[in-house]
Chains A and B, each alone.
Chain A
Amino acid sequence: MNNPSSTAARNTAALDRYRTMRRIRSFEERVGELFLRGESAGSMLHLSIGEEGVVGVTDAMAQGDSFTTHHRGHGVFLARGADPVRMLAEIAGREDGYCRGKGGSMHIADRALGHLGANAIVGGGIPHVVGAGLSYRNQASGQVSAAFFGDGAMQQGILYEAMNMAALWRLPVVFCCINNQYGMGTRIDRAAASVDFVARAEAFGLAGVSADGADVEAVYAAAQDVFAGARAGRPGFIEVSAYRFHGHARMDKSPYRTAEEEAEGRRRDPLARARDRLIAEGLADAVDLDRLDAEAGAEMDRALAQATGAPLPPLASMFEDVYDPTTPAPEPLRHRLARILNA
Chain B
Amino acid sequence: MSETTYREALRAALEDAMDQDPAILLIGEEVGLYGGAYGVSRGLLDRFGPDRVIDAPISEPAIVGTAVGAAMTGSRPVAELMYVDFAGLVMDQLANQAAKSRYMFGGQIAVPMVLRTQGGTGRSAAAQHSQSLEAWFLHTPGLRLVMPATVNDAYHLLRAALTQPDPVVFIEHKGLYTLKGAWDRGRPDAGWGEALVRRPGRDLTIVTYSRMLHESLAAADTLAARGIDAEVIDLRCLNPLDEATMVASVRRTGRVMVVSEGVLTGGVAAELSARLQELCFDQLEEPILRIAGEDIPIPVSPDLERASIPSAGLIVEAAGQLMRREVAAWAR
Give A residues with C-beta under 8 Å from B: 66, 68, 97-103, 107, 109-111, 116-117, 119, 121, 124-139, 145, 157-158, 161-162, 164-165, 168-169, 320-328, 330, 339-340, 343
Contacts and interface: CB of A to CB of B under 8 A. Distances in A.
B102 interface: yes
Interface string B284-322: 000000000000000000000000000000000000000
The 9 A-B residue pairs with the shortest CB-CB distance in the complex, in nearest-first order = A131-B69, A127-B65, A128-B69, A99-B106, A161-B62, A131-B70, A324-B165, A161-B59, A321-B107
B115 to A, nearest CB: 13
A320 to B, nearest CB: 7
A130 B109 contact: no
Contacts of B281: 343
B106 A164 contact: no
A327 B165 contact: yes
A330 B141 contact: yes
Contacts of B96: 121, 124
Interface string B44-84: 00000001101011010110111111111111010000000
A322 B110 CA distance: 10
A109 B101 CA distance: 9
B25 interface: yes
B57 A134 contact: no
B240 interface: yes
B307 to A, nearest CB: 37
A131 B110 contact: no
B124 interface: no
Contact of B102 (A119, A121, A162, A323): A323
A66 B141 CA distance: 27
Given A100-B107, A124-B97, 6 more contacts: A127-B68, A131-B65, A132-B72, A137-B51, A164-B57, A323-B166
A134 B25 contact: yes
B102 A158 contact: no
B104 A107 contact: yes
Nearest to A143: B73
B136 interface: no
Given A103-B104, A161-B62, A165-B57, A127 B25 contact: no
B2 interface: no
B84 to A, nearest CB: 20
Contact of A135 (B70, B109, B110): B70
B61 A127 contact: yes
Contacts of B165: 323-324, 326-327
Given A99-B108, A110-B108, A324-B166, A134 B75 contact: yes
A324 B25 contact: no
A158 B61 contact: yes
B73 A116 contact: yes
B124 to A, nearest CB: 30
A327 B191 CA distance: 14
Given A117-B101, A321-B102, A321-B103, A130 B108 contact: no
Interface of B: 25, 27, 51-52, 54, 56-57, 59, 61-62, 64-75, 77, 92-93, 96-97, 101-110, 141-142, 164-166, 240, 278-279, 281-282
B57 A168 contact: yes
A283 to B, nearest CB: 38
A139 B57 CA distance: 23
A319 to B, nearest CB: 10
A124 B92 contact: yes
A98 B106 contact: yes
A127 B278 CA distance: 42
B62 A165 contact: yes
B109 A127 contact: no
Given A161-B57, A161-B61, A162-B62, A325 B141 contact: no
A322 B105 CA distance: 10
A134 B281 CA distance: 52
Contacts of A101: 106
Contacts of A322: 102-103, 141-142
A99 B108 CA distance: 8
Contact of A121 (B27, B92, B108, B240): B92
A209 B220 CA distance: 67
A260 B129 CA distance: 55
Contact of A138 (B52, B59, B64, B166): B52
Contacts of B54: 134, 169
Contacts of A135: 69-70, 73-75
22 contacts: A98-B106, A99-B105, A100-B107, A102-B106, A103-B106, A110-B108, A126-B65, A127-B68, A130-B66, A131-B68, A134-B66, A135-B70, A145-B69, A158-B93, A165-B56, A168-B57, A169-B54, A321-B106, A326-B165, A327-B165, A327-B166, A343-B281
Given A100-B106, A321-B102, A340 B61 contact: no
Nearest to A136: B73
B240 A164 contact: no
Contacts of B93: 124, 127, 158
A107 B106 CA distance: 10
Contact of B282 (A98, A145, A343): A343
A116 B105 CA distance: 9
Question: Which of A134, A322, A324: most chain B CB closer than 10 A?
Answer: A134
A116 B74 CA distance: 12
Nearest to A330: B141
B37 to A, nearest CB: 19
Question: Which of A128, A157, A169, A343: most chain B CB closer than 10 A?
Answer: A128
B68 A128 contact: yes
A107 B96 CA distance: 11
B51 A131 contact: no
Nearest to A68: B69
A164 B278 CA distance: 50
A330 B102 CA distance: 14
Contacts of B66: 127-128, 130-131, 134, 162, 165
Contacts of B67: 131
Given A127-B62, A128-B65, A324-B166, A138 B75 contact: yes
